[in-house]
Amino acid sequence: MHLFFTPDLQPTDSCYTLSEEESKHCVRVLRLGKGDTVTLIDGRGGLFEAEIAEDNPKKAKLSILRYQPEYGKRPYKIHVAVAPTKNMDRMEWFVEKAVEMGIDEITFLQCARSERKNLNLDRLEKIAVSAMKQSLKAYLPVLHPFTRYADFLQQSQTGQRFIAHLVEGQERQSLAKSVSGEDTYTILIGPEGDFSPEEVAQALQAGYKPVTLGQSRLRTETAALAACHTIHVVLDV
Please tell me the class of the 3-68 domain.
Answer: mainly beta
The pLDDT tens digits for 179-224 are: 988 899 999 999 988 999 999 999 999 999 999 998 888 999 999 9
For residue 64, the SS3 value is strand
pLDDT on residue 237: 61
* 135-141 mean pLDDT: 96
Q: Per-residue pLDDT for 172 more than 90?
A: no
For the chain, domain boundaries: 3-68, 77-235
pLDDT at position 137 is 95
Q: What is the mean pLDDT of the chain?
A: 94
Three-state DSSP class for residue 154: helix
Q: pLDDT at position 228, please? A: 97
Whole-prediction pTM: 0.93
Task: Give the per-residue pLDDT at 115.
Answer: 86
Integer Cα distance of 7 and 235 in angstroms: 29
Q: Mean pLDDT, to the nearest integer, of 86-94?
A: 94
- Whether domain 77-235 has CATH 3.40.1280.10: the reply is yes
DSSP string, 67-127: EESSTT--SSEEEEEEPPPSSHHHHHHHHHHHHHH--SEEEEEE-TT-S-S---HHHHHHH
